[in-house]
Structure 1
Amino acid sequence: MGNPFKKVINNEKLPDLIKKKVLDDINVIKLALDVADLIVIKFPDTIGDILKNKNQNKKQ
């Protein structure tokens, strides 16, 4: 499978600012997926603990 972007932009170079923004967006998405993976898959009791502590704080 080839790089589809090479077909769209043959001889033009994207500005570094656009590359940086795209990479930053990708990094944010990866971070969100990693956090969700940690909380939901690896440590599912964390959500229960957070909600339990939140409810206890409201009662006080």
Structure 2
Amino acid sequence: MKLSVLRWLFDPATSLLAQRLRAQESGHMSYDTSWRLARVTRHPDEVVYRHHGHLAEDSGDER
């Protein structure tokens, strides 16, 4: 099942807000980005998770 479908099933209010935000940007914002923004707007305590998925997979640093 696609992630967007799961998001609609588990949190329709956030998904609807994400659609509204995306429409305001005339579709220039991805659904994933708009959903994350909507989620943080509705649940400010989850701001620590905002950048999850936007980070590089491997920074190439050898430790």
TM-score, length basis structure 1: 0.30
Larger Rg computed on CA atoms: 1
More helix by share: 1
Q: Which has the higher contact order (CA 8 A, sep 6+)?
A: 2
TM-score, length basis structure 2: 0.29
